[in-house]
Each structure stands twice: as C-alpha cells, then as structure tokens.
Structure 1
Amino acid sequence: MFMLFTAHQPAPAAAAAAPTAEDYASARKLVSDGIWGIVSSLDYLNGNSPFGNVLSYSDGGKGVPFFYLTTLDEATANFTAADSRASLAVSQYAVDGCPGLDPQEPLCSKVTLSGNLVKLDPQSREAEFARAALLNRHPRFSNLPPAGNFQLYKLKIKGIFLINSYKDSPKKLSVRDYLKVA
C-alpha cells in the first residue's frame, strides 16, 4: 500500500489594486507621526534567526527614518555585519490607538519600510539633519552618555508595504512616489 501526498497549493492572490495618492499620504503620515516602531533584521550572532527590536526614530518630515543606536545593543551588531537588511514596521495603533479597533484589523493602518540600515557619516549634512530631527522628537537623546557610543543610522528604503483597508489591502508602494509626498 502506498499513499499519494500532494503539496497544498495556496489559492492565487487577487490582483492588487493600484495604490492611490491617499495611500501614499497615509503611509507618509503614519511614518512621520510615529516615534517608535519594530525594527527587524537577521540576528547573525544567533544563527541568522529573525530578530525584532523596539526602536525610537524620526523622519524629520521627509519620510526616511533616522535612528540613534548604541553599539552596546546586540541589535546594532546585526546592522554592522555584511547583511544590513532591515525593516521598520509602524502601526497606527502606536500613534492614536485606533479608537474602537484591534491593532490587527486592516482599518488600523500599518506600514512596513524595508531596505538597509546605513550608518551616517557623523560630519555629513544628512547626519546634521538626522540629529536635529531625532533630538526634536526624542529630547532625552541629548542626555545619553558618551560611553554608549551612540551613532546615527538611516533606513535606506527599498520597499514599502501598506495595509489600510479591507477591500484592497495589502499594497506595495513605490519608494519614489512615497518620497515625493509633501
């Protein structure tokens, strides 16, 4: 007697609706209004297992998240290895509590920016902007001890994933169009 096993094939996904101008504005507003999110990467110190960490950030209103990270945190070591891929997930629930909704519901918007976490040259104009943006949103950063060896990073965005409705979520947004939103 032998048994025939077949692999389960997922149902084909419905064609995704094209993102609207409102989708881009929603994603930018969510990133700009947020002050913290979950940054995920591969934990190269632990067999490349998935690793998520709550991190404070600021985009300075420009859409690109900046971080002030200490080399004392194991998560920072993940970004300095050969593989600097990372993602930042921000939920509307963290911004305004999504009144009357559960954080997992599609109407409670969430955006994930994926790309590479890049350390900034501390003498660059971009680092000057990042420092000002971070201190504006997180004033306590100015009191961090020098022994923490905090350094400025940005997420160089390569992909954007937005969930904000039941009818046509999720959406993949163009990085170029996302960055154009004023």
Structure 2
Amino acid sequence: MWARALLLWGAAVAVGLSAGIPPHEEAARVARFVAHSCDWAALATLSAQEPPMRGQPFANVFSVSDGPKGSQGSGVPYMYLTALEVSVRDLQVNANASLTMSLAQTSYCKRKGYDPQSPLCAHVIFSGLVEKVPNGTEADFAKTALFSRHPEMASWPRDHDWFFAKLNITNVWVLDYFGGIKTVTPEEYFNAVP
C-alpha cells in the first residue's frame, strides 16, 4: 500500500513540475507554483531565547503544505507545530515571521542545471503572522494537506500537544529571474491560478 502511495505521489510531483513553472512575467502564479511544489520551508523568527540570541534572527526548517499534491492548493502555508519547538516559543512572544521556499528542494532545478542561488531556481519569501488554526473546517483541511504529504506526522507523540498553524501572509516576494526581486500583493497571490 505504501509503495503504491509513494508511486502515485511521485507521479503527481513529476506531472506538476513537468507542466512547467509559469512565465516569470506572472510572479503571482510563480509564487503559487513554488508554494504548492515545496514540502518544507525555512521559517525565520525573532529569537526569544536567552541572551545572546534574544532578539536575533533565528531560522528553522518546517514541513509545510498548502494542499494535497495533485490539487491546485490553497496558497496558505500550513504547519504542524508544538510549543516544545524553540521557534514556536519565539512565535509565542512575537508572531511575526518570514517563510522561504525554493524549487531547489524539488527535482526542477537539478534537471535544469540551476544552482539553488540562481534566480532561475525560483524561490518565494512570505512574511506575516503565524496563527493557530481554530478547530473546524480549516483545521480539517490543514490536517489533510499536511498528513497527505507528511504521513509520518500522524504518528508523532500525542503528548507533545501538536496543533495546526498557518502563516497569515501580509507580504510576498518572488525571485524567479534575473533583474531583482518582485513584490506581489497577498490579493494577487491568492487570486492567481498556479
């Protein structure tokens, strides 16, 4: 069963990436494409740890999903968090964060021969507030989105009090071509079809 699911997941990834990244002139579509293609991201917070780290930037890797593979995705980066995580403790003091995703984590850039730092290896940077997703329809969607891509999450220790969270996006920057970063409004981002 797992082998079949893995095969289907791999086929969905290959189809999505082979369909191609949207044209670089359509930055909002590129941002949605990157967000849906990536399974993890670097989340940067302002550290609430003891000095000398307090108030300093602190980046950490988290599994993310904006929807199951094969779907269009919601554009909302969902995460599965616990207060035991150091970055979550930072967020409890200051919920502002940035989240970076890059196609370098997919096969796209390697197939094209793009270095991860190359603008052609598209990446997107979001900023906003990390918020707990309230129980209900959105939490159900977040669970489906995350557990379909990260099935191991379903077996993580229950005594860690896991909860679903999302980045409430206030700013979007896209780097997908030479000439500098592009700004996309949240409205443009959510209205774009990847």
Q: TM-score, normalised by structure 2?
A: 0.79
Q: Find out whether 1:33 has 2:50 as its counterpart.
A: no
Are the equivalent residues in 1 in contact too, given 2:24–2:177 (CA < 8 A)? no
Gapped regions of structure 1 (runs ≥ 5): 1-18
Are the equivalent residues in 1 in contact too, given 2:133–2:139 (CA < 8 A)? yes
Map residues 154-173 of structure 1 onto 2, 5 A cutoff.
154-166=166-178, 168-173=179-184
Structure 2 distance, partners of 1:75, 1:141, is: 18
Q: Which amino acid aligns with 2:35?
A: V
Structure 2 distance, partners of 1:43, 1:110, is: 24
CA RMSD for the aligned pairs? 1.5
What is the aligned partner in structure 2 of residue 116 from structure 1? 129
Q: Which of the residues 59, 67, 72 maps onto 2:66?
A: 59
Q: Which of the residues 137, 142, 153 maps onto 1:141?
A: 153
Structure 2 distance, partners of 1:97, 1:28, is: 15
Structure 2 distance, partners of 1:66, 1:21, is: 27
What is the aligned partner in structure 2 of residue 95 from structure 1? 106
Structure 1 distance, partners of 2:122, 2:24, is: 15
Q: Which amino acid aligns with 2:133?
A: L
Deviation >3 Å, runs of 4+: none
What is the aligned partner in structure 1 of residue 120 from structure 2? 107
What is the aligned partner in structure 2 of residue 152 from structure 1? 164
Which of the two has higher C-alpha Rg?
Answer: 1
Q: TM-score, normalised by structure 1?
A: 0.84
What is the aligned partner in structure 2 of residue 4 from structure 1? none
What is the aligned partner in structure 2 of residue 9 from structure 1? none
What is the aligned partner in structure 2 of residue 47 from structure 1? 54
Deviation at residue 21 of structure 1 after TM alignment = 6.1
Q: Find out whether 1:73 has 2:85 as its counterpart.
A: yes
What is the aligned partner in structure 1 of residue 20 from structure 2? none
What is the aligned partner in structure 2 of residue 24 from structure 1? 28
The number of equivalent residue pairs is: 161
Percent of counterpart pairs with the same letter?
33
